[in-house]
Structure 1
Amino acid sequence: MSINTKKYLLTTSLIISGLILTLFSTHRYYLNEGYQETDHSSQQQMKELINFLGASLSRYESIPHVLSTNPLLKNVLLNQQDEKNLQALNIYLEQIQNITESLDIYLVDALGVAISASNWRENYSFIGKDFSFRPYFQEAIEGNLGRYFAVGTTSNKRGYYFSYPIYSQASILGAIVVKVDITDIEKQSTGIARAGGYEFAVADPDNIIFLSSINEWQLTSLTPIDQSRQYAINASKRYANRVINELTLYPPYKNTSNKEHKIYRINANTKQHDYLETHKAMNRAGWTVHIMTPLAPIYQSLPAIMLLYATLYLLLALAALLGYEKRKNLLRIQQVNDMLEQRVKDRTQDLEASNRMLSETQDELIQAAKLTVIGSLSASINHEINQPLAAIKSYAQNTLTLLSRNKTEHVKDNIHTIISLTNRLATIVSQFKSFTRKSQGDDSATNIELCIQDAMTIIQPEIDKQGVELKLITSTEHYEIWGDDIRLQQVLVNLMSNAILAMERSKVKRITIRIEKGEMLCIKIQDSGPGVQDSQMEKIFEPYYTTSDRQGLGLGLSISRRIIESMQGSIEVSNAVDGGAIFEICLPIYHSEMKNEPPTHRHQGEHL
């Protein structure tokens, strides 16, 4: 064998070995980088999805508690033979079900038997059904708020259940249950997943998928089902008569928290795909959310990247060879360089186009994330209308009493009050729409004293019920501010409601409202409760922060501060020397000579 032949073979062997090493290193490096980027993106998508699921469920979480305060439920549980009250409760639950858009609402007694339901007209009515085996009933009968996911044994529909006990003094008579249709939540979550380019699966503590963006995954198990496990699933009746099959995935699923990438090959839409799996627990709901990100885009991009690096490697190798044989192969080298430069240019254009597409996709994800804010805002409307609804109910019950006693001369006043409260309630609800669009607002010169009187009208039924002494101290002069009287009433009602709740265990229950004039007009609301702890002073106005463990979403004071600040005012909290909390609202005084010229420091179209 000649020397030239040996050199040629050696050179060829070295080039091929280097090429194999380059391809292997490129494949391994960019595959790992792809896993890292996908995992990071999945973590962000996980937060968005969990926030959306949590917000969707929180809309219904307080409904059982609110319904439990209706005395009609207690009366029906105490006297189940009263057909008139039973029928009235059926109709009432049916109306609430339509208003809240929940799937079903039903009342069960202490034995777990449903005695009234919103679906009383349907063939699958829950009335007479025994739900004592359901964990949500067992939690409620122990005095807790129950949460549970299951397939209805009667309706055969998937739903999430919230339950709350019905008390008669210290004893529990039964529970009110609200079933939420998770189909709509699943559809909206699927839309978010499609926009983000991933699939998701929500599993119960037994690793059974009950929510998923892929229909084939629904009601399948991530882990193997042996005979004993199948028996336990059937005994729990969580999935009614549905058959739970195993999800075909390789390798077998492991619920580990180590940081290495977990990749599974799973059937999706009759085809097998590789997914990078990320999961996180939703402890309050008892769920585990799994995000399955397809790896196909990474696999599809690898050949192009490997080709690029192989080309660059060969370019360097060829450059070395061409340098060695420069004089003999100058023309051929130039042609190869031109070809490679064109390839690099084309590849760069492709990468720039991919970057532009990625930017557009990110903008769409941001817009989709904004829509979830509406779900969070919807929780505040429930918080703000509870008191007007309670007032309407109280006046309506009083009207029935007056009619039964033939005291018709007072009925008209009650009906006018109910109409006024209903109009005010409609105004409050309509203001919720302003969160999603710009408008000019309804600011005007507002009489502070009349505004306080209207707020006191709304809160009066609760004042009477709790035995609270309400005292208003004002001057002979009448002052006005420039703002929205309905929003100011919302702030006053919220502060008085919080004061009533704070005085729940106080022997002396007193609320004092003072109007004081200085450089600004100040409204001071003082209660005789325990006051506000120093550690809570800075947090009390933060969204979702609440000092109550029984009710409220922690939105009232946050919304109140935003309303007052939109009127160029301030709201502060302090503790009185003689005990109790003082909330002080200070607003600019609106003078009569300014009636045709609103304050110039207000921005037209300013909304919360």
Structure 2
Amino acid sequence: MLAVMLGLDRAADYAARRWALAQVEGGAETAAALRVAVLRSEIEKQRSLPIALAQDPDVRRALETRDPERLVALNRRFEALAAGARTGVIYLIDDEGHTMAASNFRTPESFLGSDYGFRPYFRLALSEGRAEHFAFGTVSHKPGLYLAQRVEADGRVLGVLVLKAEFDPIEDEWRRFSEPTFVTDDRHIVLIASEPAFRFRTTVALDPVERNAIRESLQFGDAPLDLIDLTAVAGDPRLKRVRLPGRKAPEEFFEASMPVPTTDWTLSVLAPTAATINLAATAARASAALLGVVALGSAGLWRSRRRRRVLAEARSAEARRELEERVAARTAELSEANAQLRTEMEERRRARLAIDALQDELVQASKLALLGQIAAGVAHEVNQPVAAIRTFAENSRAFLDRGDTTSATQNLETIAALTERIGAITGELRAFARKSAPQLEPVPLGTAIDGALLLLRYRLLQTSIALTVALDAPGARVMADRVRLEQVFVNLIQNAAEALGTRADGEIRIASQTGTDKVVVTVCDNGPGLSEEVLGALFLPFTTTKPQGLGLGLVISKDIIVECGGTVAVENRGGAHFTITLPRAREPAAGAEEEHP
């Protein structure tokens, strides 16, 4: 039993260490990814500013003219931009390497007048257009990333615009965390670090010749470029043993490294492992000890547990029975609810059919109301041919009495023409009054408008209203129900006539524009127009400007147009201006019969 307890202890310690390392690894990789994202965001933000400034006309003119006033203004502008963008320094170098303007012109470390012709970023920007170079500032004594952009005008190189990005705020932010963080370049030299002692040191030993060349270039000042004491732990190369400044002994860390996109840098996070491993090992070993104690006591409790298991199985069977009863009851409730839902769906279907029928009744009532309003005019239209027929009939009898058959024949032909006119009027009235289900079919636009005007012609003549019909293609066919489309035009023309009243110069204009797949019809008048309040609610039920109106005519007209797949709109344009858009019907094939208005 002692061997079992010892084995459990060792197994728990090993498993806890692996689990703790996995947790540390996950946390370190997450932290590295977040810090890479922040660092990349800062670099990308700083990169855009030199490109924009190199295109600035003020920067180009300052380099071309060397005007002191322009340079002073540029100094102030760079100062404001550097403060707003939270960057280190912005400065402008002429083509010979001398600083002409700088954002730090007020400070003792001002770059004005300094010669930077020896700097690699200056030479590379002149030759290739842009350059990036991380280095230690010879004047400011601060490290930073130099972003250089060539300034050109008309193909001439004028100079170089340089922005120095400093990473002190990022390093300060990293110091708030327990994980040391640092960034190395492709030569494994630490450029940015939360631990100041790591800066300008290396994680891999440099060749002496290379180290001397770097020091002579003054890229990192007089930094020794020595090796950081970063020793790999045997068994896992990602575990490092490091002695941090101010610590008595080396500590073990897990190193998570990720490349920084758009650069040749690598960001590393050192996550401490001791606390997590110790806590996990303590908990695991305690759990293992508890498990051993439980195992030792399990034999004596076997009979008691077996008895409890039998009781538990009985209670489980009872619980299952109760659950089945509740499921059956719930199923019955759901079946009842489903039946009720079907009943409600059927009721809604019947209600929808009733609504459709009611809408048809409303359309029919609107047509009959319109017929009532135009009945007097239609009666007059019929009365005139009837009176003429009587006169021509009496004349024909007189001609026959005198034996003048030729004149009598002409009168009879005139009577036949007048009866055809009466038949056309009464036929239009019967078709207009007939109640029928809407049926969409190709309808010539001119036919629908002529039918509406046949019913309203006397009304317009009686009020001396001038009517202008200008259809660009009268034979163009639209998809609609002919009678209902006539109802829409009757409603609009009659509303226009009522709006004009007895106005001496009243005019109603009907026009159309035929497109490839739609036809636009406009009905407008030169009346007083509509108020803003009425215009906004014109197509809502019971909105009307007539003392005796119900406010349903335009609502029904809009529903008819929508059923045809079209739209209707209104605006004030020297009077009320209605615009109807209808889908154009497909033209019949060559040789097929076509109905003309």
TM-score range, shorter chain: 0.3 to 0.5
Q: Structure 2 length as normaliser, TM-score?
A: 0.46
Pair member with larger Rg: 2
Q: Structure 1 length as normaliser, TM-score?
A: 0.45
